[in-house]
Structure 1
């Protein structure tokens, strides 16, 4: 049974590290959420470690720069693990071939910048679909457009047997008051059409392996039963934590705010109904990280 808590500090002494989602928890895609930042700063002052675990397709250095623009101070976190880091490592190891058709936002070309942590990386080249050996999806070209607009291209890609590397398994995000589609929506469509999609962010194991490595690099050996995962996505953050057997704190005021009738806190009945519908069982829940 999920327990609704008033603040992070009510349970934080049970954990030595946090795996914290960003979008919808620490910022809203436009600016930092002050109460969340203050909660993480207070936790770190007690000696706890904070690893930001995000499905952003950006490398961790790009996310760090983005946090500055959003006003998230660097004393609120210790390390960053991104879906982009994990996906780029796989891409440069040749998981979808050398010649790839890229689907993404303008500016996502940085995803193909050389990577220094892979021994003998392959030379990956973006090419048109009809020349591609595989697909790299960092996001839709238009995040407001229905993913179904990709059906004609995906039909051709499926017929050619191309695998799709998904750099961000999120289906949707809220940028301020605007809801947008993510790469995960396109990968989901491609899979439904009979194609093969490969995922490297939450809820899939590669990003948790990366998060643990980032945590270990801080010089701490923390077992899973002392790690708390925090996020607003039951299909990503909470499902991933459940799969890794890590305790979780569900932020109900993010993607599921309407479903859980969250004002300051979720309505208990609405929360239980939503979790039963989604077959999800977070350890704790709270309206907003604070």
Structure 2
């Protein structure tokens, strides 16, 4: 059964590195959580290292710029690794062909435009209409505020008939932007699979993003890693798949499931909720602090 803790400091001495999620853990899409920032700073002050591991569908330098604008201090982390980094590498390798139908928004333009140095000499990725496409690349819904996956049923039916694979740059299903809940690329990829199509994933809970994070920090097999996240199907399932401990942030996506006090989840409700999902993170906490 998961152990509910009061603060990261209660367990931090047992770990060398944190793989910490962003949205719902460190910030709410609008501003950082001060207590979470302080917890990461304290972990680093004692010699730990922090990787911000995010399913954002953009190369990491765009994520860093967003964190800067939001006011997340750079002394709270050591490195940023994004789903966009891992998925972009697969796209330029030709995982879904060279002519792609892009389901994307302007803020994710860098995913297509910023070509990594190792792919500078590779054949170009061309964005085309669905009828001409060899595959699909999805970083997010065209109108993430107003659309749902159901709005894409007709084009995705055509894509399935054409046998196109969908490269998903963000496996998250939903996120909360302040008080507004938005669908992510993962919701569309899952919808496509439910229709019989094939989706490819590179962010949490899938291995490529964890491999990239380990390489970036030069971690070895003996490094003690703790994954911190609020996504039961991404952060917690991903940690289990990698064989690393997890700290579940109950006050994130599932904030309304564990009683009236977001900061202090009720143990019985939490245990029942986790059992229904067949997940058992080693630790849980209301909010990262």
- 8 Å Cα contact 1:20-1:229 kept in structure 2: yes
Question: Offset of 1:195 from its aligned partner?
Answer: 0.5
* Residue of structure 1 equivalent to 2:99: 99
Question: Offset of 1:222 from its aligned partner?
Answer: 4.4
Question: Offset of 1:224 from its aligned partner?
Answer: 5.7
Distance change (3 Å), C-alpha of 1:213 and 1:118: farther
- 8 Å Cα contact 1:51-1:81 kept in structure 2: yes
- 8 Å Cα contact 1:83-1:207 kept in structure 2: yes
Normalising by structure 1, we get a TM-score of 0.96
Question: Offset of 1:104 from its aligned partner?
Answer: 1.2
* Residue of structure 1 equivalent to 2:268: 269
Number of residues of Structure 1 aligned to a counterpart in Structure 2: 286
Distance change (3 Å), C-alpha of 1:33 and 1:224: farther
CA distance in structure 2 between the partners assigned to 1:81 and 1:42 by the alignment: 21
Question: Offset of 1:263 from its aligned partner?
Answer: 2.1
Q: Deviations over 1:222-271 (max 9, x none)?
A: 43661000000000000000000000000000001111224221111110
CA distance in structure 2 between the partners assigned to 1:169 and 1:118 by the alignment: 24
SS of residue in 2 equivalent to 1:117: helix
SS of residue in 2 equivalent to 1:180: strand
* Residue of structure 1 equivalent to 2:45: 45
- 8 Å Cα contact 1:99-1:125 kept in structure 2: yes
Q: Deviations over 1:71-107 (max 9, x none)?
A: 1000000001100000000000000000000001233
SS of residue in 1 equivalent to 2:106: coil
- 8 Å Cα contact 1:173-1:179 kept in structure 2: yes
Q: Establish whether residue 19 from structure 1 lines up as the match of residue 19 from structure 2.
A: yes
- 8 Å Cα contact 1:224-1:245 kept in structure 2: no
Distance change (3 Å), C-alpha of 1:224 and 1:196: farther
Distance change (3 Å), C-alpha of 1:279 and 1:202: same
* Residue of structure 1 equivalent to 2:283: 284
- 8 Å Cα contact 2:97-2:134 kept in structure 1: yes
Segments of 5+ residues of structure 1 without an aligned counterpart are: none
Segments of 5+ residues of structure 2 without an aligned counterpart are: none
- 8 Å Cα contact 2:250-2:262 kept in structure 1: no
CA distance in structure 2 between the partners assigned to 1:45 and 1:35 by the alignment: 15
